[in-house]
Amino acid sequence: MKYLYNPPLIIKKVFSSFKWNSSIGKILLTFDDGPSAEATETILKVLDENKIKGTFFCVGNNINLFPELTKMILSEGHLIGNHTFNHKKLTQLSFTESLQEINSFTVLLRDKFNYEVKYFRPPHGKFKFNTPSLIRKCGLENVMWSLLTYDYKNDIKVIKLAIDKYLRNNSIVVLHDSKKSMNVVSDSINMILETSSKKGFEIGEPQECLK
């Protein structure tokens, strides 16, 4: 059951170049699939209220749709990571197509926002044996996770189960910046903060957690 929330150790060993956990014993909050009209501002508000910085693994098409929300993410000191341009699964793309998906995103951020992307997360968490070499060729580091909350199911009970049972002091937590999670994302963040406080865990800065 645990592997549904935290990938198996054997996978982490085979793909040891990927970042699966925070490197400093502090929790890292990450948000996939944005920016979105439905959830981004809510997430930013909760993070600001709690003086927390997060990592947003954004999609290029969404950045083009919502450039002002992208600027907000950056202006408030959060980190943006590469989640490909069109949110296509790497397992369904050739090496060349994957390069195009990833590099197009990086160029977009560089040209339109003067921002150098350092980190990548594959859409849907899907990758292949050649993904490590693909990511190196793109000059990025691959960031996975150690706690998938299933917030996209829009069920706070499911999220609570994941957090209560599997949150650790070095978790990289996946939440979603999307319409699917818009009704639960605020409560999800607050639940993580409350559980962390009870267990004596700290929330870390993206740069320190990923170094």
**CATH number where 15 lies:** 3.20.20.370
Q: Which of these is catalytic: 32, 33, 151, 177?
A: 32
- Tokens 């197509």 belong to 97
Q: For this structure, is 176 an active site residue?
A: yes
Residue 76: per-residue pLDDT: 98
Mean pLDDT over 147-173 rounds to 97
CB-based contacts of 54: which residues, under 8 Å, 6+ apart? 28, 29, 30, 31, 43, 47, 78, 79, 206
Q: What is the pLDDT of residues 10-23, one digit of tens each?
A: 999 999 999 999 99
Question: Above pLDDT 90, what percent of the chain?
Answer: 98
pLDDT confidence bin for 60, thresholds 50/70/90: very high
Reply yes or no on whether the pLDDT at 1 is more than 80.
no
Q: Which domain holds residue 48?
A: 2-209
- pLDDT > 70 fraction of the chain, expressed in percent and rounded: 100
pLDDT, mean of residues 99-121: 98
pLDDT of residue 59: 98
Band of pLDDT at residue 2, cut at 50, 70 and 90? confident
Catalytic entry in 155, 176, 177, 187:
176
pLDDT in tens, 24-39: 999 999 999 999 999 9
Average pLDDT score, the chain? 97
Domain count, the chain: 1
- Is 87 annotated in the active site? no
Long-range Cβ pairs for the range 76-80 (8 Å, 24+)? 76/44, 76/47, 76/48, 77/53, 78/44, 78/47, 78/53, 78/54, 78/206, 79/53, 79/54, 79/55, 79/119, 79/206, 79/207, 80/55, 80/56, 80/109, 80/115, 80/117
